[in-house]
Amino acid sequence: MTQTLTQTAHAQTGANTGANPGPNHGSDFEDAPDFAPDGAPALEAQLRTALAAPGVAPDLATRGARLLARLTRPVQVVVVGDAGCGKSAVIDMLLGTQVAGLVNRLALVELAYGAEPQVRFEDANGDGALCPGTLGDYEIPPGTLSARQMLPLPMLKSLHLTEITLAGDLNQRRTLLRHAVEYGDVILWCSPAFETDEQTLWAEVPERKRDNGFLVLTLADQQIMRGSLPETVARLAPVVEESFWGLYPVAARQGLQAKGGAPGADRQLWRACGGQRLAEDLRRRVAQGRQATQDQAEALLWQLTLPDPAQATGQNPVSVPAPDPAPRSHSRPHTQQPPEAAPQPNPSENRGAAVLEQALGQLQSQAEAMLADAGDDPKSAKVLDHCLLAVRDMAEVLVNAPGDGPALKAAREASQDGEEMVMLLQLEQDEEAAVDAVTLLLQLKKELSDPALPAKPGVRS
């Protein structure tokens, strides 16, 4: 390949070909994509304890049950597309071993983590025996509709991959896609061309699900040989801009060859075939989704552990404590070397830290007032109004503060982005928008607490 698939895609559509392009912040080649451990287990324990307390409102208990389910299960990545479009090859490439490609006559194949390789062939009733080995070790039993393959691959601890073939007429394909969308958290739509009928089906998917959709342009190596890949990418650019997380031209067979074992590992081929970019962006999107779930769990914990309202509604301005004086030395001068002069703090940095501390306190006070006002039956409109007021008050503190240090500048940008996002959420006026607004407040709080974090406020991952 004279030009990598990633370069071809970026040359035609720029940033719309995938999120977060740029330097490689992902994992090592041998085990990419890598999914770092998160705080879900600790949050799960805290949330279970809080929900078990007496007097929890029914709506909070229901929301907590949903969040517990999302905290404890792997992210569900559904790979959909027509028969023969290259879905199995994409899955095998991501796993670095041939598994899904060993069977091509089933409508649904799920890949999950297991301590030992085991496979289960299931009929229409979900019945089937668990057998040792992999899909390729067996003839498919008569009446089998789906298969579940367990493998001891670390990647599958964080996500499950499910391949669903969209077969039949338009209505049958629509039904299959609806089930796939309901089940999946992230959707990889595999297609060599993504023609009009596929676009029609995808347009029926709810927007919040399309935001987690990856358009994987399969068999891209063949299109490169025909010289048609740039034209295909350019044609799909407006669709991707409107309806997908990104566009990923992939030569999956070459990707499997590049990643299929240390002796034959080929980093250059892994990049050139498009596999590295897809794997890394998938890893990032899964991590963002898990973080969003944890943020929502923290927001619910915050509400479940609300302090006494009389203490939560105070609006006193936040005082910034003076730094502790430097400790004095009690050693005799002649017993030690003269101490080196301590570096003098930059006054502008001190002022910036004080402003951030004040903004953080302002945000905390407004959030506590919101929760106290909401009571056991929070109204979406009231929660959204409180969130907008909190972000605006915080933004006013930051904008009016003197100084222009990097941390203060980043906090100003984050608050402005947050204000715009909450204003958009107010247009919806529903419970999901209110939850997203509270989640955004938590993200802003984290950024103010640790200004080094580069994350930009966002919701609905």
DSSP 322-348: PPPPPPPP-S-GGGSPPPPPPPPPPHH
Question: What's the mean pLDDT when you consider all of the chain?
Answer: 75
pTM: 0.63
Name beta bridge partners: 122.
Answer: 146
With the C-alpha atoms ordered 77, 114, 47, 391, is the resulting torsion angle positive or negative? negative
Digits of tens for pLDDT over the chain (461 positions)?
Answer: 434 444 444 444 443 444 333 333 333 333 434 444 456 678 888 889 999 988 888 888 998 898 888 888 889 999 999 998 999 999 999 998 888 776 767 889 999 999 999 999 998 888 888 999 998 888 888 888 899 999 999 889 889 999 999 988 999 999 999 999 998 999 999 999 999 999 999 999 999 899 899 999 999 989 888 989 999 999 999 999 999 999 999 999 888 888 765 444 578 888 888 999 999 999 998 888 888 888 888 888 888 876 544 444 444 443 334 444 444 333 333 334 444 444 444 544 455 566 566 666 666 666 666 655 555 555 677 777 778 778 787 777 777 777 677 777 777 788 777 777 776 665 566 677 777 778 877 777 777 665 444 443 444 43
Q: Using one digit for the tens of pLDDT, what is the confidence trace for 160-203?
A: 999 999 988 999 999 999 999 998 999 999 999 999 999 999 99
For residue 16, the 8-state DSSP code is: G
Helix/strand/coil for 119? strand
Spatial contact of 274 and 19, defined as CB atoms under 8 Å apart = no
Name beta bridge partners: 246.
Answer: 214
Please enumerate, as own/partner, the contacts of 365-371 that have beta carbons within 8 Å and a separation of 24 or more: 365/314, 365/315, 365/316, 365/318, 366/390, 366/393, 366/394, 367/302, 367/438, 367/441, 367/445, 368/306, 368/307, 368/312, 368/313, 369/312, 369/313, 369/315, 371/302, 371/303, 371/306, 371/312
Strand ranges inside 196-271, DSSP E:
213-217, 246-249
| Domains in the chain: boundaries | 5-42+60-286, 350-461
CA distance 223 to 246: 19
Which structure tokens are listed for 323?
């730094």
Instruction: Report the CATH number of the 5-42+60-286 domain.
Output: 3.40.50.300
Whether the link from the prior residue into 33 is cis, omega within 30° of 0, is yes
